[in-house]
């Protein structure tokens, strides 16, 4: 549980950090703006002026061409600069946040689903990584060798305190072999399989839920687009904004589903492999202990008539 909470906090911090990063806005130099503002004014005055008047100096000829541009440059530069400034401050210039806001209100449950999915994937990766390091096939072979030799006490000692799921199941079976060996093995195997398959139901739900949320965003975006068709002044901007909202929500939902589907199938296959290992080890343990029990019964039944016959003689 502590690992889950830690990974959840790390995932939230990662998402917030990635959303809060703001790329540098493109800056336009004042010289470039002034050049762009004055460039249209030069051809406008050149056709009306006579080419190469003998009584005019070059400075006097250039002064009327540049003075109107200089006078009109603040007015031409003011609206464009105001339109180029982002409306959301530091976070408003981020591409991710811009797409998130343009995706509509459905993006909030999609964000929640993405955080939960990322948290579950990270937690399962850590768990299976730890399980990989907890495997101890050499000790399992030693336990089977001790059982084959008839030393169940040594086999129980070898399997005690291990973090390998197979050895934990075998230890539980060896300690309850006189009561119900098969029942003890089934209970221990069920606990290990449940522990390995934790949160798989959550991932399965996310794989199904994320595309449905994207489809819901598509429907709401199209409804928003068609609601503005009666107004001719705002029809173009509103329709394009609604279609963009629909496409962004659909893309995010499908992306989350694709992201969660691959780990879900991988973890499901890992659980199936662990279940097979547990069943194989439990069957081998039952067969070996059953063979030893049958051998002891055979020796006991074989010695009893011999002792009776000897006493009669």
How many distinct structural domains can be found in the chain? 1
Question: pTM for this structure?
Answer: 0.64
Residue with the larger pLDDT of the pair 244 and 215: 215
Q: For residue 278, is it within any domain?
A: yes
Q: For residue 53, is it within any domain?
A: no
Q: For residue 4, is it within any domain?
A: no
Among 96-100, 217-221, 298-302, name the most confident range.
Answer: 217-221
Q: For residue 66, is it within any domain?
A: no
pLDDT tens digits along 52-71: 444 444 443 433 444 443 33
pLDDT tens digits along 193-202: 999 999 999 9
- Cβ density class 8-34: b for 16+ within 10 Å, e for less: beebeeeeeeeeeebeeeeeeeeeeeb
Q: For residue 295, is it within any domain?
A: yes
Q: For residue 144, is it within any domain?
A: yes
End-to-end CA distance of the chain: 72
Provide the domain limits for residue 132. Answer: 107-214+261-312
Q: For residue 168, is it within any domain?
A: yes
Q: For residue 272, is it within any domain?
A: yes
């Amino acid at each position: 549980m502590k690992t889950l909470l830690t990974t959840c906090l790390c995932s939230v911090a990662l998402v917030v950090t990635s959303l809060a990063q703001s790329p540098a806005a493109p800056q336009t130099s004042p010289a470039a703006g002034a050049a762009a503002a004055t460039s249209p004014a030069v051809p406008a005055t050149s056709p009306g002026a006579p080419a190469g008047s003998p009584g005019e100096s070059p400075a006097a000829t250039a002064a009327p061409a540049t003075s109107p541009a200089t006078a009109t440059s603040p007015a031409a530069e003011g609206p464009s600069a105001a339109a180029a400034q982002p409306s959301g401050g530091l976070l408003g210039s981020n591409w991710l946040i811009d797409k998130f806001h343009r995706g509509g209100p459905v993006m909030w449950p999609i964000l929640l689903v993405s955080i939960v999915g990322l948290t579950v994937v990270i937690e399962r990766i850590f768990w299976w990584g730890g399980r990989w390091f907890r495997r101890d096939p050499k000790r399992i072979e030693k336990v089977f060798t001790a059982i084959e030799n008839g030393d169940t006490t040594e086999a129980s000692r070898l399997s005690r305190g291990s973090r390998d799921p197979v050895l934990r199941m075998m230890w539980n079976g060896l300690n309850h072999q006189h009561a119900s060996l098969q029942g003890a093995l089934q209970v221990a195997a069920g606990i290990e399989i449940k522990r390995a398959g934790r949160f798989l139901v959550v991932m399965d739900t996310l794989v199904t839920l994320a595309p449905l949320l994207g489809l819901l965003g598509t429907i709401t975006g199209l409804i928003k687009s068609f609601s503005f068709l009666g107004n001719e002044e705002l029809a173009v901007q509103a329709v394009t904004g609604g279609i963009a909202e629909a496409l962004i929500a659909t893309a995010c939902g499908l992306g989350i589903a694709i992201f969660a589907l691959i780990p879900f199938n991988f973890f499901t296959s890992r659980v199936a492999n662990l279940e097979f290992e547990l069943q194989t080890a439990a069957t081998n343990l039952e067969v070996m202990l059953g063979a030893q029990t049958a051998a002891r019964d055979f020796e006991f039944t074989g010695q009893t008539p011999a002792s009776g016959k000897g006493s009669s003689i």
